[in-house]
Amino acid sequence: MIKYCKYIVYAFVVIFVLSCKQEKQSYNDSGVSIIRYDKKIFELDTSDIESSFDSLYRKYPAFTDIYFEKVVPLSGYKSDSLLFFKELKRFVTDTTIIGIEDMIREVFGDMRDLEMKFGKAFKNSGKLFEKEKPPVLYSYISAFAIQRFIFKDGDRDGLAFGADLFLGNKFPYNELEHGQNTFSNYLIRTYNKQHIVKKVLELWIDDKLGKPDGNRAIDAMIKNGKKLYILKQLVPEISDTVLLGYTPGQLDWLGENEREMWNFYIENNLFYTTDSYKIKRLTSVAPNSQALGMPRKSPGATGNYLGYKIVSAFMSRNIEMDIQSLIKYKDSQKLMEKSKFKPRMN
């Protein structure tokens, strides 16, 4: 089963295709290698597209199926081979798509720095999730369609990210905005290399946590708080701005208004609301929380911030508890009570 973390509307009307040649993986001291699918498709032999594609498919069947069925859905895939290979050839020779791949190579190089960061995180995950194989990592070009996803890749999890949606200032994402808020400033602020490890790993953790046990805001808040806490254990050096997804100014506001925000939640019964709209505003990325009646300067997803604070306080009081036990601890109300979390005063 495939789980998509973020769908982004296609920005260009492009015809999609693929390419493949043998390529050495860039191994490093971490032992982790990112499969550069974005490079491999442009290395397909267009004079013998069928056999070179077949070779690629044999190496990466699960990812290839998802890529051409969901990420870059090419006409004829699995139904009309003549049409598919025609579309595939057009895609790998499309100058616009090639230009995007050139930007990916310029921004990311050989990705060894990312491999080292993922390697450290997976080393830590071995201590938290014993006997579990680390995921397989893929990078791809999505034509600005899907930023990341998790899927089953043989006997392991596969984690994949669209490098074209992490180009940072190299690409003017706001020019792709057409009134649907898919490329708004508060979103594209994190479309950069510094946020890849966090955004990819949170898919893996989210999959382990599953859905909240209840339908109250506190259930979603604690689940997301657990996710952020586990991420911090995997990547201890991660900054709070990247971990929580806030600007330094937003973090300052949260710290200065923690007690007032907590009281606002209590006065407006936000911890226990089952209103799906309110829960979404409390836990989903947004420019601010003004729609809930909070000040204009309040950032979005304040519920995740509080959830992280509560879970961190709970774990500091239960140092004998391991991550697996935290995941299985499903009573959000009891966890909040046992955390004895007290918001700081300004």
Domain ranges of the chain: 3-204, 211-339
Residue 323: its pLDDT value, please?
96
pLDDT tens digit string along 214-257?
999 999 999 999 999 999 999 999 999 999 999 999 999 999 99
The helix/strand/coil state of 166 is coil
Tell me the mean pLDDT in the region 52-56: 97
**17: confidence class by pLDDT, cuts 50, 70, 90:** very low
Q: Give the chain's mean pLDDT.
A: 90
pLDDT tens digit string along 278-334?
999 999 999 999 999 999 999 999 999 999 999 999 999 999 999 999 999 999 999
Tell me the mean pLDDT in the region 134-145: 96
- Name the pairing type of β-strands 148-153 and 156-162: antiparallel
What DSSP string runs through 139-152? Answer: EE--SSSB-EEEEE
**2: confidence class by pLDDT, cuts 50, 70, 90:** low
Q: Is the pLDDT of residue 10 over 70?
A: no
334 close to 215: Cβ distance less than 8 angstroms: no
Give the residue, 17 or 125, on which the prediction is more confident.
125
